[in-house]
Structure 1
Amino acid sequence: MQDYSFMTTEEIFLLQDALKKNKKQIYKFISFGLLLVIIAAFVPHFFLSKRLSEEEINQSLFSYKNAWFWVWLMSFVLALIFALIKVTDVRYYTIKKDLTKLEKGQIQVPLEAVYQGNNEMQTSFIVQQEGVKKRKRLFYWMRGRLDDFRTGQQVEIIYGRYSRVILAITKL
C-alpha cells in the first residue's frame, strides 16, 4: 500500500540538494560534449593543413567549413550527452516535478538488489512492490554510499513520488 503525503521542509531541502547534484552532472556532460566538438572540429583541420592545399581541405569531409561535418558531429555529441545522462540515472526533470508537487510516498518492502552508481556517489535499490500487478521499481539514494543495506532486508522507504529519490530509509 502506498501512502502519499506532503513533504516537510527538510525533505524539500534534500530534494533541492539532489537537484543541484543532477544539474552539476548535466553541466559536466555538456562541457564534455563541447570539448569534443572543439577537438573534432579543429584537430583534423590542423593535420590536413600540413598535407593538403586550402581548397582541398575545404572540400574534405573533415573540414569545419563543410556543413555535413557539423551535422554528423552535433548528432554524435547530442547522442553521447543523452546516453551519458541515461546511463548515470540523472533525474533532473522528475526531481523538479517533485519540488513542484511536493508529494512523497512511503512503502515497506524487502530489498531485491542494492548497487552503487555514479562513482559510488549514489546507491540504488530495486524493490518488488505489491499491488495490482507486482513490479520491480528502482529507488535512488543521492547522498553517497550506503553499505548497511543488503538484499532481502525489510525496509521502510520515504521517497519523492515522481523521481523515486529516497528521502529516508530505515531497516525494519
Structure 2
Amino acid sequence: MSEESTLSFRGLCRYIHRLSKASKAGMKAALADCPKRHFPMLEGLLGCIRLHGQDGAVYISDLVQELHQPLPAISRTVRQMEQDGLVERFADPADRRKTLVRFTPKGYEACRQCEAALGDYFSCVMARLEPEQLAQMEALRGALMEAILAENAARTTKPKGEPNHDKDL
C-alpha cells in the first residue's frame, strides 16, 4: 500500500470513528427522555420478532443468535425489561423447556417513542445540510457501499493466494 493511500485509509478510519462517536453522543442525548438504556435491545427484539417470531413472540435462543450476545447478558436485559413492564416472558406451550418473550403494549410504546426521538434528531441533522450536499452524500454513500460489497464478493470468490485487487488503495 502506498504512503498516500495509507494516509487516505487512516483519514477514512478516523472520519468513521468521529462520525460514529458524534452520532452516538447525539443519539444518547435524543434518547434522554426515553426508557432508560433499553433502546438497542428493544430494536433487536423487534427485528428478531419480525424475522423469527410467531404470534408476536420469539424464543430467547433466537434473540441470542440474532443479537450475537451471550445468553446471560440477554437474560439479564430481558429480566430488567420485564421488571420495567416492557416485555413478558413465558414458557412455550408446545415445549415448556423453551422460553418465549414478547412486547407488552408499554414496550411497543417505548419502541415507538425511541424511534420518534431518533427520527427527530436525524431530521434536524439533515436539515442542516443543503439539498446539493444531501444529494452528494446519498450518491457517495451508495457508491461506497457498492464498492465494499463488490470487494467483499471478490474476496469470497477468488482462489486463495490470488491478489484481491489490481492496484493499491
TM-score by length of structure 2 reads 0.29
TM-score by length of structure 1 reads 0.29
- Decide which structure has greater helix share: 2
